[in-house]
Amino acid sequence: MTAIAGNLQAIRARIDAARREAGLGSAVDLLAVAKTWPASAVREAAAAGQQAFGENYVQEGVEKVQALRDLALQWHFIGPLQSNKTRAVAEHFDWVHTIDRLRIAQRLSEQRPAALAPLQLCIQVNVSGEASKSGVSPEAVHELAHAVAALPRLRLRGLMCIPEATENAALLRSRFAQLRQLRDALNAEGLALDTLSMGMSHDFETAIAEGASMVRVGTAIFGGRPPKAESGKEAAVLP
């Protein structure tokens, strides 16, 4: 068994244990975040049964999508998205987790090829109110969600968050709980959201305790590596 395969096995076991402890009846999806890692690492993870992969950088992600077309993989864009990069994402990815402006969603809708399945979206919510982080405010998420849900060639699936780094377990759990409560409120308004994309290598078990349906794990699968800087992008927390 390779190192990546062993790491995946260990993470899946931890996810399943956390799911059972939380009393969740449905599965929790694992998104393997491969940013800065080569296509060969993704291929190794795929050989171990992993199918869903997350990318933070558009050019790097598109290159991997093209290099691994022989594999039946699902590609998620999870980084900040600029207007001039939407076409590449609309044409190559299956999911986008970081919608925080209507204009970005409109461009993805316009640029999504009709031959492809609808692009699956999550709205990123800035639950910690940090000026350095992307995401719509909790107060503004209702208006944005209803507007995005009405766009063609897209399907709004849920919400995503990246809470502040903290050792305060109660505070962290409250951030995840806030996202779940927002999802529930939106569903009460008539939307049908089934996804809470929350939790990374260091906190995914806490996220699962608050109802995460998808966790984004990179370092615990592939190992540590310095984040790749890209012009005009915010510094990203390593998943």
Model confidence pLDDT, tens digit, residues 40-68: 999 999 999 999 999 999 999 999 999 99
Backbone angles phi, psi at 136, to 5 degrees: -80, 150
Measured distance CA(85)–CA(103) in Å, rounded: 13
Flag whether pLDDT at 143 surpasses 60. yes
Helix (H), strand (E) at residue 157: strand 154-160
Segment 197-213 shows an average pLDDT of: 97
Torsion sign, CA atoms 237, 12, 40, 77: negative
Is residue 94 within 8 Å of 65, Cβ to Cβ? no
pTM attached to this predicted model: 0.93
Identify the structural domains of the chain with CATH numbers, from first to last: 3-222 (3.20.20.10)
Which pLDDT band, with edges at 50, 70 and 90, does 233 fall under? very low
Which pLDDT band, with edges at 50, 70 and 90, does 228 fall under? low
- Percent helix, strand and coil across the chain, each to the nearest 5: 40, 15, 40
Measured distance CA(239)–CA(228) in Å, rounded: 13
Q: How far is CA 6 from CA 19, 50, 72, 73, in A?
A: 20, 12, 21, 20
The tokens for 191 are 């939307």
DSSP-H helix ranges across the chain: 3-22, 39-47, 58-67, 86-92, 102-111, 141-149, 169-188, 204-209, 219-222
Measured distance CA(74)–CA(87) in Å, rounded: 18
